[in-house]
Amino acid sequence: AQSVTQLGSHVSVSEGALVLLRCNYSSSVPPYLFWYVQYPNQGLQLLLKYTTGATLVKGINGFEAEFKKSETSFHLTKPSAHMSDAAEYFCAVRGSIQGAQKLVFGQGTRLTINP
C-alpha cells in the first residue's frame, strides 16, 4: 500500500525567495513519484516525475525534486519564486508494479507568493 504526506497545507514565500514544498511517502514497493500543480479553476498539470535513474528530477517552470530513498522523501524546490507560481501543489505516489493503477495523492499544499 502507498500513502503520501505533504507537510504544510499552506506555504507563503516572498517573490524571489526559495520555494520548498515537502512530501514524504510510504510504499511497500519501489515507488513512482509525481508532483502536480493546480491553478484556480483548472485541472491538475504534471510538473515532474521520478520513475527510475537520476534521483534529481527537473520539471517545468524551473521546479525540481529529489528522490531520497533513505528519507522516503520527494521534496519540491524552486530557487526563486515568481508570482505566477501561486497555485496548489500535489504530491502523488504509485507502486512500481506492472499494471498498478492507483495513484495516491497527498492533501495538497497551497503556495502563496508575496510581492
Partner 1 sequence: NAGVTQTPKFQVLKTGQSMTLQCAQDMNHNSMYWYRQDPGMGLRLIYYSASEGTTDKGEVPNGYNVSRLNKREFSLRLESAAPSQTSVYFCASRGTYSNQPQHFGDGTRLSIL
- Tallying the residues shown for the chain, one arrives at 115
- Residue 64 binds to partner 1 (criterion: CB under 8 A): no
Binding residue for partner 1 (CB under 8 A) from 14, 26, 51, 61? 51
Rg (C-alpha) for the chain, rounded Å, is 14
The bridge status of strand 10-14 relative to strand 109-114 is: parallel
43 lies in the binding site for partner 1 (CB under 8 A): yes
Question: Does position 53 bind partner 1 by CB under 8 A?
Answer: no
Q: Which of 7, 17, 59, 105 binds partner 1 (CB under 8 A)?
A: 105
C-alpha cell at 77: 524546490
Burial class (CB in 10 A: 0-12, 13-18, 19+), 60: exposed
Give CA angle at 112 (106, 50), nearest 5°: 40
What's the closest the beta carbon of residue 108 comes to partner 1, in angstroms? 5
Closest CB 45 distance from partner 1, rounded Å: 7
- The verdict on 96 binding partner 1 (CB under 8 A) reads yes
**What residues line the site for partner 1 (CB under 8 A)?**
9, 32, 34, 36, 41-46, 49, 51-52, 90, 94-103, 105-108
